[in-house]
Amino acid sequence: MTDVVIPKWGLTMEDAVLVGWLKSVGDRVEQGEPLAEIETDKATGQLESPTVGTLREIHAREGDEVEPGQVIGRIEDG
């Protein structure tokens, strides 16, 4: 399993809001494919899949405040 982790976008990013998931549990994903939308105080961007596999777990919901390094989901490799 591979963790889906909130990246640190910029030196001043301390937290962000999970705007929404673009994939659901059970969906097949490709490496680099957008998984979720994240909004910081300066920008909105897409969080990409770190690997090829199936999204198996979601640990954060739409509207949740998230921090860099926080695991928000898990992908079963393959």
Question: Domains in the chain, ordered, with CATH?
Answer: 2-77 (2.40.50.100)
Average pLDDT over residues 40-64: 94
Q: Is the dihedral of CA 42, 60, 33, 48 positive or negative?
A: positive
Check residue 64 and give its pLDDT. 96
The residue to which tokens 């739409």 are assigned: 62
Q: pTM here?
A: 0.87
What ranges make up the beta strands (E) of the chain?
Answer: 2-5, 16-21, 28-29, 34-39, 44-48, 53-58, 65-66, 71-77
Q: pLDDT tens, 19-41?
A: 999 999 999 999 999 999 999 88
Question: How far out from the chain centre does Cα 16 lie?
Answer: 11
Average pLDDT over residues 39-55: 93
Query: For residue 9, which of 42, 37, 33 has the smallest C-alpha distance?
Result: 42
